[in-house]
């Protein structure tokens, strides 16, 4: 039996300027590290066959499966605010698209599969560490219920990649609703190719926003749709303490998924100005800046769409501003509603927002662990406050706040156990903590030991369950385990 991918490619049918046709570069000795079996089934693929050497050869880019139409996608992007007119897939190749069990079209892309015409000086390869990191964090995001690209497989290439030192090489199979980015629109807009922008917008509407197709002003509605999805997405990031790390416009997905897990990280102690990325020296992509940056990126998207709005520039700009103006309210609504759920409020009352802000302020001042404070607050709802207050350097700060919180929750009619259950359903016990991710990567890269990786992936698949056998995975790092910086790993 050969592995069959039911490809139905639509992006490679777009005009030639949208991509470069290029096959993956074969690697020496592919070995499957991890196959995401449930995702394979969801995609209509046979997991048993993907686990054979033939399957591994495909997932490593050594053999191109039948029906694939491998391409590197063209895109541009603002990197840390500076426009680069041509980026493109320099180390990724889109094999094609399949329709999943729910009828959703999904891209299947190999990341680290060799050079493309967009590689510039890069080698088109990926090191094992960043591949494992993306696998772990993207699947953790999925389990947390946050829109994200997925990881179908990680394959060891049997080759080394040269970075500062020689590192083991790997290929990640990434699955996405699409890989169309704000930067994809920018690529054509920068070339003043309005017909291509229109073609791309039409493709995106059919694929991601089909409900807008017959509206009178579909391109306006498209912008509004992307604004809404990004506002919701960034709110959800903040609610779990996620820091993307490189919110460049080329890493900003039109479908509203989290994409490009480079130096991303979850914060341990709550600190709104937290930055982990080694290259983010100015803190442009700090935790609390993320909504502002998302809006900035959306403004870049709007600029690309202006020629589709109206021939009159001023009119088009006014309309775009109007649509972009919705971002703040949409973000705040999603963020505040999420925070209310996190602290166990079932109704909305005056003073709620200030009450919650006071908790966040106290957490920041007391270096309280973001994840555990909210998780343990769920237990405080049934009068077991010990673990929640233990998160605060000065537990009295929690006590003062908790007194006001208890008075407030008493105004809702739900029982304490109902409240605890509702809070535990939104406040995860387990997140991919940096020190855990690092330890897993070290064990794999240095000792060829993948057991810690397997265990971490397993624990993170059920982030809202207590999983007492794995309780240690919930712990914040000890002072000497703290990871202060993360790297792109390109
Ligand atoms: P990223 O950091 O993944 O957002 O990538 C930014 C740009 O650099 C994209 O155009 C990538 O394709 C390109 N790039 C990153 N790493 C490599 C590499 N190893 N070889 C070639 N191009 C790369
Ligand atoms: Mg990128």
Q: How far is the CA of 91 from the centre of ligand 1 (A)?
A: 6
pLDDT at position 2: 85
Q: Is the CB of 134 under 6 A from ligand 1?
A: no
Q: How far is the CA of 140 from the centre of ligand 1 (A)?
A: 23
- Close Cβ partners of 21 (under 8 Å, ≥ 6 residues apart): 12, 69, 70, 71
Q: How far is the CA of 63 from the centre of ligand 1 (A)?
A: 23
Tell me which residue has its CA closest to atom 3 in ligand 1.
260
Rounded Cα distance, 490 and 177, in Å = 23
Tell me which residue has its CA closest to atom 12 in ligand 1.
90
- In sequence order, the β-bridge partners of residue 166 are 162
Residue ranges of the binding site for ATP: 88, 90-91, 111, 123-124, 174, 181, 260
Rounded Cα distance, 392 and 373, in Å = 8
- Output phi, psi for 173, to 5 deg: -95, 115
pLDDT in tens, the chain (490 residues): 789 999 999 999 999 999 999 999 999 999 999 999 999 999 999 999 999 999 999 999 999 999 999 999 999 999 999 999 999 999 999 999 999 999 999 999 999 999 999 999 999 999 999 999 999 999 999 999 999 999 999 999 999 999 999 999 999 999 999 999 999 999 999 999 999 999 999 999 999 999 999 999 999 999 999 999 999 999 999 999 999 999 999 999 999 999 999 999 999 999 999 999 999 999 999 999 999 999 999 999 999 999 999 999 999 999 999 999 999 999 999 999 999 999 999 999 999 999 999 999 999 999 999 999 999 999 999 988 999 999 999 999 999 999 999 999 999 999 999 999 999 999 999 999 999 999 999 999 999 999 999 999 999 999 999 999 999 999 999 999 999 888 876 5
Q: Is the CB of 123 under 6 A from ligand 1?
A: yes
Burial class (CB in 10 A: 0-12, 13-18, 19+), 66: exposed
pLDDT at position 96: 98
- Please identify which residue in the block is written with the tokens 């299947």: 108
Rounded Cα distance, 129 and 440, in Å = 9
Name the residue of 91, 133, 262, 279 to mutate for ligand 1: max ligand atoms within 8 A of Cβ.
91
Q: Choose, from 89, 100, 107, 250, the residue flagged as catalytic.
A: 250
Rounded Cα distance, 233 and 216, in Å = 27
Which ligand has the shortest distance to the CA of 277? 1
Q: Is the CB of 260 under 6 A from ligand 1?
A: yes
C-beta of residue 456 within 8 angstroms of C-beta of residue 136:
yes
**Per the confidence metrics, is the pTM higher than 0.95?**
yes
Residue ranges of the binding site: 88, 90-91, 111, 123-124, 174, 181, 251, 260
Tell me which residue has its CA closest to atom 11 in ligand 1.
90
pLDDT at position 490: 59
For this structure, is 214 an active site residue? no
C-beta of residue 41 within 8 angstroms of C-beta of residue 47:
yes
Which ligand has the shortest distance to the CA of 72? 1
* Residue 251 CA, closest ligand 1 atom number: 4
Q: How far is the CA of 143 from the centre of ligand 2 (A)?
A: 22
- In sequence order, the β-bridge partners of residue 77 are 84
């Amino acid at each position: 039996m050969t592995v069959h991918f039911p490809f139905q490619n639509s992006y490679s049918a777009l005009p030639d300027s949208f991509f470069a046709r290029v096959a993956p570069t074969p690697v020496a000795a592919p070995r499957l590290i991890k196959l995401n079996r449930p995702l394979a089934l969801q995609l209509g693929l046979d997991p048993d066959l993907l686990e054979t050497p033939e399957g591994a050869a495909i997932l490593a880019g050594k053999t191109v499966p039948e029906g694939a139409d491998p391409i590197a996608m063209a895109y541009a992007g603002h990197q840390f605010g500076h426009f680069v007119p041509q980026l493109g897939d320099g180390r990724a190749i889109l094999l094609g698209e399949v329709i999943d069990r729910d009828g959703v079209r999904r891209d299947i892309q190999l990341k680290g599969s060799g050079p493309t015409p967009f590689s510039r000086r890069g080698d088109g390869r990926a090191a094992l560490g960043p591949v494992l990191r993306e696998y772990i964090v993207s699947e953790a995001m999925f389990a947390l219920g946050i829109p994200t690209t997925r990881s179908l497989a990680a394959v060891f290439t049997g080759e080394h990649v040269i970075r500062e030192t020689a590192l083991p090489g790997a290929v990640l199979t990434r699955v996405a609703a699409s890989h169309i980015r704000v930067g994809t629109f920018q690529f054509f807009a920068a070339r003043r190719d309005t017909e291509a922008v229109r073609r791309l917008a039409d493709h995106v509407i059919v694929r991601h926003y089909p409900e807008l197709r017959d509206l009178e002003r579909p391109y306006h509605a498209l912008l509004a749709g992307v604004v809404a999805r990004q506002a919701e997405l960034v709110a959800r990031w903040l609610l779990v303490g996620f820091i993307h790390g490189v919110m460049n416009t080329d890493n900003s997905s039109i479908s509203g998924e989290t994409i490009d897990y480079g130096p991303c990280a979850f914060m341990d102690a709550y600190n709104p100005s937290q930055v982990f990325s080694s290259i983010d020296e100015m803190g442009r992509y700090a935790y609390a800046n993320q909504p502002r940056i998302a809006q900035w990126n959306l403004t870049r998207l709007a600029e690309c769409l202006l020629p589709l709005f109206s021939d009159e520039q001023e009119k088009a700009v006014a309309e775009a501003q109007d649509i972009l103006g919705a971002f703040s309210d949409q973000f705040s609504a999603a963020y505040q509603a999420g925070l209310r759920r996190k602290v166990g409020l079932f109704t909305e009352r005056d003073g709620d927002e200030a009450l919650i802000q006071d908790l966040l302020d106290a957490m920041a001042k007391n270096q309280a662990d973001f994840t555990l404070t909210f998780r343990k607050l769920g237990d405080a709802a049934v009068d077991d406050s010990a673990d929640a207050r233990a998160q605060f350097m000065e537990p009295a700060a929690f006590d003062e706040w908790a007194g006001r919180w208890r008075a407030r929750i008493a105004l809702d009619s739900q029982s304490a156990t109902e409240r605890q259950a509702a809070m535990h359903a939104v406040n995860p016990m387990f997140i991919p903590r940096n020190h855990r991710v690092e330890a897993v990567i070290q064990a794999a890269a240095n000792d060829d030991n993948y057991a810690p990786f397997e265990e971490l992936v397993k624990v993170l698949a059920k982030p809202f369950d207590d999983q007492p056998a794995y309780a240690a995975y919930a712990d914040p790092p000890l002072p000497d385990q703290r990871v202060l910086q993360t790297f792109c790993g390109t």
